[in-house]
Structure 1
Amino acid sequence: MRFAAIADVHGNHLALEAVLADIRAQHVERIVNLGDSFSGPLEAGLTADLLLPLDALSVCGNHDRALIDRPFDQMGDWEKPSYPQLSQMQLDWIRALPFSAVLNDEVYLCHATPKDDNSYWMETLSSEGIFHLKPRAEIEALAEGLDFPLLLCGHSHIARAVQLSDGRLIVNPGSVGCPGFDYDVPVYHKAEAGTPFASYAILEKTALGWQPSFRQVRYDNVSMANLARRHGMTDWVSALSSGWIE
């Protein structure tokens, strides 16, 4: 069994195009999508045009939920540019997304954690806002009761794999379309991939267990940074240009 996992496209249709081309070049046919597909100052509608026909097994992210669970005037600055670009059919597709899903009875999918779509599974924040790996016991506590050898999540935008003490593997494929962000809850912090590339992962079941292969794909990130600049979102400009938040 071999498939690709994508997450956190955030309306970056050029990054998604490049990732889908790379997936085809790796002769992978099955794709799962871990959510947060559209929100941001980029091209939500064009992203939906690419994503929906894939018939990928998809789950709902916190930013997907924010497009459908509140009035427009209460949406955040990532949703307000993207919501008007989406058709009623595309919004209905988001409404139908499950919180979590299971692939072939052995791969668990969620956006952030099994309990919450807006918290980090493998990362934590120090009181100084430093973004780092959680202790394994805390990661394992969130995996309690999930009897699957492979667990997938997104949300942090950082590609990472953690093997639990019982051999289960948690994988975050990184972000296809948004390689960095800053946020002030619960304290100010930055997540930075360190490159502007589009990230995803290929997962393969081998005789020794699940093998993740993390892939970074170059694309025309400058055009996307310029689009974010036209929307006045300087943090996006920085992330899309370099993978860092300046």
Structure 2
Amino acid sequence: MRLAVISDIHGNLLALEAVLADIEGRGVDAIVNLGDCVTSPLWPKETFERLGELDLPTVRGNHDRWIVEMPEAKLSPAGRFARAALSEAERAALHALPPMLEVSPDILAVHGTPADDSTYLLEDVMDGRLAPAARATVAARLGAAARPGGVVLCGHSHRQAVVQGPEGCLVLNPGSVGCPVFADNPAAPTLEHRSPHARYAILTRRRGAWGAELMALDYDWHAAARRAAANGREDWAVAMVTGAVSPA
């Protein structure tokens, strides 16, 4: 079994197409999407339409939920851009996505944690940066989802990781397809160094054991930066080409 895992596309259609092209040549059995599909000043509507063509099993991310639930005044600028770009029916379709998916009897897909799409599963914020969470913290966040020999797929932090959790459970974060750092996050300028690559993962089961490949792909991130700048978001343009946001 080979399962491609994508997450946190954030409306970056160019990065998504690069990932899909790479997946096509790797002989996977299926693709699962862990959410945060469109929120950005990039191509939210076009990305929604492309994902509609693919019809992938998809988990609802916090931004997919907020595009309906969050009051306009509290929504981030990127969230307001995406909300305006989508029709009411399209926004409702994102909101209707399930908060978790049982991909198979031993693979659970979530966005953040099994209980909360806005909480990191494998990281904590320390001094304005993400740091690996303590074992007890990860175990508490996993709860009953930590099954012997099972897998939990998560996104949200935009950081690739493979962790052996409690009960021998494997936790896989594929990283972000199209958003190395969410520039609207107030902590973005203080985050650790990242890169602009389009990221995803392949989960493979061989002889009863799970393994994972973490992918980081080159794509035309300068074009993505030009799109952000054309939509008035120079901070996003910087993030697209450097994986970082400059302090104001």
1:160 Cα deviation (Å)?
0.7
Query: How far is 1:89 from its partner?
Result: 3.8
Please tell me whether the aligned partners of residues 200 and 215 of structure 2 are also in contact (alpha carbons under 8 angstroms).
Answer: yes
User: What letter corresponds to residue 171 of structure 2 in structure 1?
Assistant: I
Q: Equivalent residue for 1:58?
A: 58
Where do 5+ consecutive residues of structure 1 fail to align? none
Moved more, 22-31 or 196-205: 22-31
Equivalent residue for 1:220? Answer: 220
Q: Is the 8 A contact 1:150 1:170 kept in 2?
A: yes
In structure 2, the partner of 1:190 is 191
The whole-number CA distance in structure 1 between the counterparts of 2:208 and 2:179 is 33
Give the fraction of aligned pairs with identical amino acids, expressed as a percent.
37
2:46 matched to which residue of 1?
46
Task: Map 1:200-219 to 2 at 5 A.
Answer: 200-219=200-219
Q: In structure 2, what residue type is equivalent to 1:131?
A: L
1:140-173 CA deviation, whole Å, 9 max, x = no partner?
Answer: 1111211541001100001111101421111110
Distance 1:206 1:236, change over 3 A: same
Task: Give the match for residue 18 of structure 1.
Answer: 18
RMSD across aligned positions (CA): 1.9
Aligned to 2:78: 78
Aligned twin of 1:180 = 181
Question: Which is worse superposed, 68-77 or 148-157?
Answer: 68-77
Change in CA separation of 1:65 and 1:209 when aligned onto 2, cut-off 3 Å: same
Contact kept in structure 2, 1:181 and 1:190, CA below 8 Å: no
Name the aligned partner's letter for residue 129 of structure 1.
Answer: G
User: 2: distance between equivalents of 1:191 and 1:43?
Assistant: 26
3-state SS of the aligned residue for 1:214? strand
Q: Partners in 2 of 1:90 and 1:161 — Cα distance?
A: 33
Tell me how far 1:232 sits from its aligned partner: 3.0
When the two structures are superposed, what TM-score results if normalisation uses the length of structure 1? 0.92
- In structure 2, the residue matched to 1:140 is 139
Q: Could you list the per-position Cα deviations for residues 56-106 of structure 1 after superposition, in whole angstroms to 9, with x for gaps in the alignment?
A: 111111111111114545432121111222234422321320111111111
Q: Return the alpha-carbon distance in structure 1 between the equivalents of residues 113 and 40 of structure 2.
A: 22
More helix by share: 2
Is residue 2:177 matched to residue 1:169? Answer: no
TM-score when normalising by structure 2: 0.91
Q: Once the 2 structures are TM-superposed, how far is the Cα of residue 41 of structure 1 from its aligned partner?
A: 0.5
Q: CA offsets, 1:3-61, max 9 Å, x none?
A: 11100000000000111111111122411110100001100111012112212111111
User: Deviation of residue 188 (structure 1)?
Assistant: 7.7
Q: Which runs of 5+ in 2 are unaligned?
A: none
2-structure distance, mates of 1:50, 1:70: 25
Does the CA-based 8 Å contact 2:151-2:170 persist in structure 1?
Answer: yes
**Secondary structure of 1:143 counterpart:** helix
Deviation >6 Å, runs of 4+ = none
Pairs aligned (count):
243
Q: Deviations over 1:102-140 (max 9, x none)?
A: 1111111111111211111111122x2232111112111
C-alpha deviation, 1:233, in angstroms: 2.5
The question of 1:156 aligning with 2:168 is answered no
